[in-house]
Structure 1
Amino acid sequence: MIEEGKPLFVQIAEQVGDSIVDGSIAEEAQAPSTNELAAFYRINPATAAKGVNMLVDKGVLYKRRGIGMFVAAGARDLLLRERRNDFALRYVQPLLAEARRIGLEPDDVVSLIRAGAEPATP
């Protein structure tokens, strides 16, 4: 799980987010505690807390005093929107920019994707 070059707390936030997106942790269900995350990933609890707090700041998790952290209603949709926007920025826009450089129109790119991206024969 641990990736070089990416802060651990960001990775923790992403892992919890992945569990929300894939349905492993449902909305209004209790999220793993900071201590559980720290023990599981063998990291400092303060690092795990920083990752959890990122999700709190986004409105994905909320705290029930004395009970723990819970997934907010609408958290999955929020994360999906965020990830779709990120996907467009990181993958689709550069793909379309390269397509323009080599003379492909957006419809050509769509056709390639639909065909399974099999290269054309020269």
Structure 2
Amino acid sequence: MIEEGKPLFVQIAEHIEDSIVDGSLTEQAQAPSTNELAAFYRINPATAAKGVAMLADKGVLHKRRGIGMFVAEGARDLLLGERRSAFADRFVAPLLAEARRIGLDAEDLAALIRERSTQSTTGRES
């Protein structure tokens, strides 16, 4: 899971976020402890704690004193909103800009997306 060039604590936070988004870590469920994360990834517990703290600062996790960290109510919706916004910035905005450059309007673009979506579900890629 370790990626070169990305801080380990960020990777830890992203892994926990992925688990929340895909539903394997549900709201109000206990998050892995920093010691569990450190042992699993073979990293310093302080590094794991930094990733967990990042999520707590963001409102994704909250601490229950003496028990541990838990997924906050609304965390999944918060993360999905962030990811949708990032998706729009990274993919949709450039797509729309290129569509304008080549003379496609919104209806043309929607038709292309529907066509490609249908092809991918039937196994016919072009």
Query: For residue 71 of structure 1, what is the aligned residue in structure 2?
Result: 71
Query: For residue 50 of structure 2, what is the aligned residue in structure 1?
Result: 50
Residue by residue over 1:19-73, the C-alpha shift from the partner in whole angstroms, topping out at 9 and shown as x without a partner, is: 1111111111100011111111122211111111111011110111111100111
The residue type paired with residue 19 of structure 2 is: S
Q: Distance in 2 between matches of 1:47 and 1:106?
A: 46
User: Is the partner of 1:69 in helix, strand or coil?
Assistant: strand
Q: Distance in 2 between matches of 1:61 and 1:4?
A: 26
Q: Distance in 1 between matches of 2:47 and 2:115?
A: 44
TM-score normalised according to structure 2 size? 0.86
How far the C-alpha of 1:106 sits from its partner, in A, is 2.5
Q: Distance in 2 between matches of 1:23 and 1:57?
A: 21
Query: For residue 114 of structure 1, what is the aligned residue in structure 2?
Result: 114
User: Is the partner of 2:70 in helix, strand or coil?
Assistant: strand
Q: Which structure 2 segments of 5+ residues have no match?
A: 120-126
Q: Across the two proteins, how many residue pairs are aligned to each other?
A: 118
How far the C-alpha of 1:102 sits from its partner, in A, is 2.1
TM-score normalised according to structure 1 size? 0.89
Query: For residue 60 of structure 1, what is the aligned residue in structure 2?
Result: 60
Query: For residue 32 of structure 2, what is the aligned residue in structure 1?
Result: 32
Q: Which structure 1 segments of 5+ residues have no match?
A: none
Query: For residue 99 of structure 2, what is the aligned residue in structure 1?
Result: 99
Percent sequence identity is 78
| Runs of 4+, deviation exceeding 4 Å | none
